[in-house]
Amino acid sequence: MDFVDIITRKKFNQPLSDAEIAFFANAAADPASKDYQLAALLMAIRLNGMDARETAALAVAMAHTGDVLTPDVGGIAVDKHSTGGVADTTTLILVPLAAACGAKVVKMSGRGLGHTGGTIDKMESIPGMQVELPEQEFLDIVRRVGCCVVSQSDKLAPADKRLYALRDVTSTVDSIPLIASSIMSKKIASGAQGIVLDVKTGTGAIMHTLEECMELARTMVDIGTRAGRSVQALITGMQEPLGSHVGNALEVKEAIDVLAGRTQGPLLEVSLLLGARMLMTGGLAADEEDARNQLLDALRTGRGLQKLAEMIAAQGGDPRVCEDVTLLPQARIQLPVPVAKGVYLQGMDAQAIGLAAQHLGAGRLSKEDVIDPAVGLVMHRRIGDYVAAGEAVATIHANDARKAEEAARKVMNALIWGDHSVPPAKLLYASIDDQHMEVFA
């Protein structure tokens, strides 16, 4: 098969066969293949797109360039994926909650880059926590505990790893078929039979418009369905940080506070929405109401927090953090960010808030940057809230006084003020599965 012929076909907007797509994926996984040919085909796909069959074929082909797990975990293996946002700590809440209800959660997560946080970085802020485990140990923990969260193996979908890097430097990132096949290739390779997708929309999301998010969600559900997986997707809001804590140890603290019943709000609500669908795709609930009641019972009885402690212990971490959050890394400086006069918080740039935390050391500009697990910020008010004169709208957690002052300015510049209240930010926009799509007013 000739790579130039494949490029030519897509250049003239002709569909590629499954065999041609498999050839492309295998070439991407082969170090001897040429970057310029791969990049040329990526650009042709970016300009001319792929139909549903082609997109699904690319996801499956990329998955099969590496290990494809078939998890024997004593039940239906389920997984959840978020397209990323600010203070999105749902994984650390819904994974143990779902496991406490009998789910078998096989979760492979990534590190953060840019303004979005990475679950693996958050977990590594727990003393002793091991996130790189051999496959058999990973699956054994899922069998025994019900859940395990580890970093993505280099052996999973190696073609995607190379194409992802090429897309970043060839202006082909913003392609729905390439984004969807990239995400779903890793989900297929990880072996989960039930997959729940959380597609974020808003100022703190990777994709800002609802139309793009709906297209991406529909495409990923279609890929999973064609690959024989049970897939559900929610489109949820990221007009403001989902939780109040932004930063690695801070977000772990907030997850523990939620599971302990000390904190409620949008972070818990989205966790329950996603967790309910995990139970449904895992065959553990008859409907959403049944699933939600199971999750609330696990929350109320403390079984969710206990399951998090079990998972932490199984992965070498100190489970005492679930009882004493001061065992997590602590920043030396806590700088309040007050307002000069009484005012209503009418909006915010969630991405800018994430970037303020990144500037403190909570995130990376490049993959080589070292994370400071203790730093970040806590937002004390949400959109629609009133802030009294002299009251702090946020608190900066830092280990460098100059960076703390800069972060405080960045946070204030990210906020929109007014003299009247506005409605709270919307949380749920749409629900999509292989049968239908429901859009919420």
Per-residue pLDDT tens digits for 11-45: 999 999 999 999 999 999 999 999 999 999 999 99
The β-bridge relationship of strands 245-246 and 376-379 is: antiparallel
What stretches of 227-325 show up as alpha helix (H) in DSSP?
248-259, 266-281, 288-300, 303-314
Token digits of residue 204: 């703190």
The three-class DSSP label of residue 264 is: coil
**46, 111, 115, 167: which is the annotated catalytic residue?**
167
Q: What is the pLDDT of residue 156?
A: 87
pLDDT confidence band for 208 (50 / 70 / 90): confident
pLDDT confidence band for 118 (50 / 70 / 90): confident
Q: What is the pLDDT of residue 144?
A: 97
* pLDDT surpasses 80 at 441: no
- Burial category of 287 from C-beta neighbours within 10 Å (exposed 0-12, middle 13-18, buried 19 and up): exposed
Q: In this structure, what are the phi and psi dihedrals at residue 143, rounded to the nearest 5 degrees?
A: -60, -45
Q: What is the pLDDT of residue 340?
A: 95
Q: What is the pLDDT of residue 267?
A: 97
Catalytic residue at 81?
Answer: yes
Catalytic residue at 182?
Answer: yes
Q: What is the pLDDT of residue 370?
A: 86
Catalytic residue at 372?
Answer: no
pLDDT confidence band for 273 (50 / 70 / 90): very high
Give me the percent of the chain exceeding a pLDDT of 90.
88
Q: What is the pLDDT of residue 114?
A: 59
What mean pLDDT value characterizes the chain? 94
C-alpha 45/C-alpha 174 separation (Å) is 11
* pLDDT surpasses 80 at 365: no
Q: What is the pLDDT of residue 168?
A: 82
**10, 46, 64, 81: which is the annotated catalytic residue?**
81
| CA-closest candidate to residue 324, choices 145, 126, 89, 124 | 126
State the DSSP string of 304-322: HHHHHHHHHHHTT--GGGG
Catalytic residue at 186?
Answer: yes
**104, 115, 161, 186: which is the annotated catalytic residue?**
186
* pLDDT surpasses 90 at 255: yes
State the DSSP string of 398-441: ES-HHHHHHHHHHHHHTEEEESS--PPPP-EEEEEESS-EEE--
* pLDDT surpasses 70 at 117: no
* pLDDT surpasses 80 at 217: yes
- Token pair 């005012």 is found at 343
| CA-closest candidate to residue 114, choices 141, 94, 82, 85 | 85
Q: What is the pLDDT of residue 112?
A: 66
* pLDDT surpasses 70 at 375: yes
Q: What is the pLDDT of residue 367?
A: 65
C-alpha 225/C-alpha 220 separation (Å) is 9
pLDDT tens track for 314-331: 999 999 999 999 999 999
C-alpha 343/C-alpha 336 separation (Å) is 17
Beta bridge partners of 198: 82, 234
- In eight-state DSSP terms, residue 392 is E
**160, 198, 349, 372: which is the annotated catalytic residue?**
160
| CA-closest candidate to residue 244, choices 121, 96, 393, 421 | 393
pLDDT tens track for 383-405: 999 999 999 999 999 999 999 99
Q: What is the pLDDT of residue 95?
A: 97
**182, 190, 244, 271: which is the annotated catalytic residue?**
182
Residue type, 216: L
* pLDDT surpasses 70 at 272: yes
Q: What is the pLDDT of residue 116?
A: 65
In angstroms, the Cα distances linking 425 to 93, 266, 349, 409 are 21, 9, 12, 23
How many CB atoms are closer than 10 A to CB 324?
10
Q: What is the pLDDT of residue 2?
A: 93
Extended beta strands in 123-244, E state: 147-151, 194-201, 230-237
Q: What is the pLDDT of residue 81?
A: 93
pLDDT tens track for 156-193: 899 998 998 899 889 998 899 999 999 999 999 999 99
pLDDT confidence band for 110 (50 / 70 / 90): confident
Predicted structure pTM score: 0.93
* pLDDT surpasses 70 at 361: yes
pLDDT tens track for 285-323: 999 999 999 999 999 999 999 999 999 999 999 999 999
State the DSSP string of 176-200: HHHHHHHHHHHHHHHT-SEEEEEEE
Overall residue count recorded for the chain in this entry: 441
pLDDT tens track for 79-95: 999 988 899 999 999 99
